A and B are shown apart, each in its own frame.
Chain A
Amino acid sequence: MEFGLSLEQRQFDDSLRSFLKDRLPMDRLRALAEPGMGFDPSLWNGLAELGLHGLIVPERFGGAGLGILDAAVAAEALGNAAAPVPFAGSLVMAPLAFIDSATEAQQDEYLPGIASGEIRVAVAFSGFGGQTGTARASLEDGRLSGRITGVMDAASATHFLVYLPDGHAAVVAADATGVSTKVNRSIDRTRPMTDVTFDAAPAERLGAANAPLVAAQTVLDAGRVVLAADTMGAAQHMLDAAVAFAKERVQFGRVIGSFQGVKYMLSDCVTVLEPCRGMVWYAAHAQDAIQDEARLTACHTKAHLAEVARDVARITTEAHGGMGFTDLLGLHYWFKRIMFNRQVLGGPERCREEAAQLQGWTLHA
């Protein structure tokens, strides 16, 4: 029994973190936040060199063939840096969907491009994504119609993968006729939300889904775990910043970290946040290897991280005093990253309700 990251995973984490530290200093983050498109070609290409794009793509398609745990490690690092990268959608959920549900021909067509970073697929759910907004889509004779709002990781997408209410997914090119998109900058300036309308757009159904609803849930769950990992990284950043600040800031002739009031705020944060890291690892590992715990842990992890991180974000901002409330410090980028992750792919209430259904605890179960 060994519950922890392998040496390779830790090395990958280190190199990703040092790359992001190098390439995404605060002024760069600020510059990218202005347009707020959640994408930067140079950052994206740089990450290709670290092997981020093909992380979970099988080796025969040019990827590394790793699992959701590896993706969670990467997501924590990305969240820690508030990196504007369409990771959860384009590099985790999309390739997973193609691995699980696409025909060989479709895999040949898409997976190598995903691994090289040229194809960026945004994943949209109609019916069971758990988000507020509009989400309807239908496929008839190879034509996709409908409207889905609030699609994440879509501003730079070359394709959309749209989950239909029956669990089947259809892939459509972003520049196909009948596809119109509106990218909205979001509160989280590191990731926008896209509204997309399909008007009889030519689309192709992924042709090898055996149990489509199960496959769709698998993709959704992976997305939820990866977003939870991102939240973990963002919350850890805020806590580290607050601890560092508390060791420097002087009031009443003392460093504020020596006041028990401040100390206890931060002790509370670490006490609730640290167990979340194990939870994220466990849920990610369950996606890879413990099938009968995969759904339950994904729902719970998405929900629990959202709740804990809300407290951590609030308390650590408070610990910075007036500075924390300013734009100057930039702490708010992480605060908002946590806000974003909470709402997309199902907020905590929704995720817990799904966990209840799974256990037969609801009226309609």
Chain B
Amino acid sequence: MDLALSEEYQALQAEIRAFIATHGHKSPKVGGGRKRPDQKTLDWQKLLVEHGYAGRTIPQEYGGFGAKPDVMASAVIAGEFGRANVYAGLTNQGISMLVPTLLEVGTDEQKKAYVGPTIRGDIIWCQGYSEPGNGSDLANAQTKAELKDGFWVVNGQKIWTSSAHYADMMFLLCRTEPEKSKHEGLSYLLLSMNSPGLDRRPLKTMTGRSEFNEVFFTDVKVPETQIVLGRGKGWYVANVTLKHERLMIGDAGKMTARLEQLIKLLQKSEIDGVPLIRISEYRDRLLRLQGEVIAWKAHNLRLLTEAAQDVDSGVKRMIVKYGGTMLGFRLSSLAVDALGAAGLPYESAGEDAEDDDATTWNIDYMYDVGLMIGGGSNNIQKNIIGERGLDLPREPKVQGTVAIGRG
């Protein structure tokens, strides 16, 4: 047990602190991420990539910084930016999911074309997986693509597609081999959101904003070479992507920050002149959550150590999305209760509005429910924990299906 950083990482820490001291004033406001990055954010992102604080492990030939993979370095970087409350760089589905996927299974041309612009924030991606009839059962996707004269011709519909309203590109899971089995009939295509025949319609969510969309395809033409890994390999590629999505959701640094905001809220919020933190019922709920957050922070340190040692964390990793989203919801639940009646009028004024704290809690409270559904629902996570983590037997199969699901 040694929680101190080695000299190497202390040096990195010092380097980051110096960077923040010099450049920190150029940082955009922390948070956001629902909109297309503005110029200020893009300039900042570029600076981060140049210094290796974003796209750190991406090879230089693809526009990255070219450092060797090192989770500890990533943790030090995240920690320092978090502590200084400075924007740590873009996080979006392109950067977190598509880029690692392409690096793993893309062609050299695909990597050259997309990796650099994506990590710089010039290309924004969306994930075209779910369909109205096929969410958890992702492998059953029915959106069709047929090869004609050097183009994939796509027809069908995707839904709940986050960021599609401002995205430039989509990574699409579609059926190209209808005669083959469910899992072997899929392919993974990369296409422009400006393709003729593609129609995106923002879909309003319970938060009052339109965070995701419906996307319709009518004879949308995609050049033949825009396939990743080849025909019928879509399910494999989609799973490479999902592996990275799971790692994206459920992060202890964010929980700690939210807990700190929650403490402030309970100190500030009053009933009959008494701050809620002095009222034992509220205080005890806060304390329970503080205990939970301490546990998850320690758990994170454990995962980080194992990742640095190249140990497969198995079930310890599988519980993160389910446990993390549940705790997130309990945190925002207490916040909503602490706002109480006075918090009810705070409703989002739409995706472009600058939200105040009360509105943000109200939205988080709802968005946390969305996080339990998106990225593989919590039930699907429980299937995974039970079947892959605890090695419990699977549900008996209905002919031709696998019940474990996406995620």
Contact = CB atoms under 8 A, between A and B. Distances in A.
Interface in A222-270: 243, 246-247, 254-255, 257-258, 260, 262-264, 266-268, 270
16 contacts: A1-B3, A1-B72, A4-B306, A247-B393, A266-B392, A267-B386, A270-B385, A271-B319, A278-B298, A279-B295, A279-B298, A279-B299, A282-B301, A304-B291, A307-B291, A355-B291
Interface of B: 1-6, 9, 72, 277-278, 280, 283-284, 286-288, 290-292, 294-302, 304-306, 308, 315-316, 319, 322-323, 326, 379, 381-383, 385-387, 389-396
A260 B385 CA distance: 11
Contacts of A271: 319, 322-323, 326, 385
Contacts of A353: 280, 284
A1 B6 contact: yes
Contact of A352 (B5, B9, B288): B288
Nearest to A304: B291
Contacts of B72: 1
Given A1-B2, A1-B4, A268-B382, 20 more contacts: A1-B301, A1-B305, A3-B298, A3-B304, A4-B306, A260-B382, A270-B385, A274-B316, A274-B319, A278-B301, A279-B295, A281-B302, A282-B297, A289-B1, A303-B288, A307-B291, A352-B284, A355-B291, A356-B287, A361-B286
A272 B392 CA distance: 18
Q: Which of B3, B291, B297, B395 has the most CB of A within 10 A?
A: B291
Contact of A363 (B278, B284, B326): B278
A285 interface: yes
A276 B295 CA distance: 6
Main secondary structure of the interface of A (DSSP, over half): helix
A305 to B, nearest CB: 9
A6 B3 contact: no
A164 B134 CA distance: 67
Contacts of A4: 1, 302, 305-306
Given A2-B1, A3-B1, A349-B284, A263 B392 contact: yes
A94 to B, nearest CB: 24
Q: Which of B290, B316, B395 has the most CB of A within 10 A?
A: B290
A289 B1 CA distance: 10
The 9 A-B residue pairs whose C-beta atoms are closest, nearest first, are: A278-B298, A263-B386, A275-B299, A3-B301, A304-B291, A257-B392, A282-B298, A279-B295, A267-B385
A260 B380 CA distance: 11
Contact of A267 (B278, B306, B308, B389): B389
B78 to A, nearest CB: 13
Interface of A: 1-6, 69, 243, 246-247, 254-255, 257-258, 260, 262-264, 266-268, 270-272, 274-279, 281-282, 285, 289-290, 297, 300-301, 303-304, 307, 349, 352-353, 355-356, 361-363
Contacts of A300: 287, 290-291, 294
B392 A243 contact: yes
Contacts of B286: 361
A3 B288 contact: no
Contact of B389 (A69, A270, A278): A270
B312 to A, nearest CB: 14
Contacts of A307: 288, 291
A290 B290 contact: no
Contacts of A363: 278
Contacts of B390: 243, 257, 263, 266-267, 270
A263 B381 CA distance: 11
Q: Which of B304, B381, B393 has the most CB of A within 10 A?
A: B393
Nearest to B306: A4
Nearest to B390: A243
B166 to A, nearest CB: 35
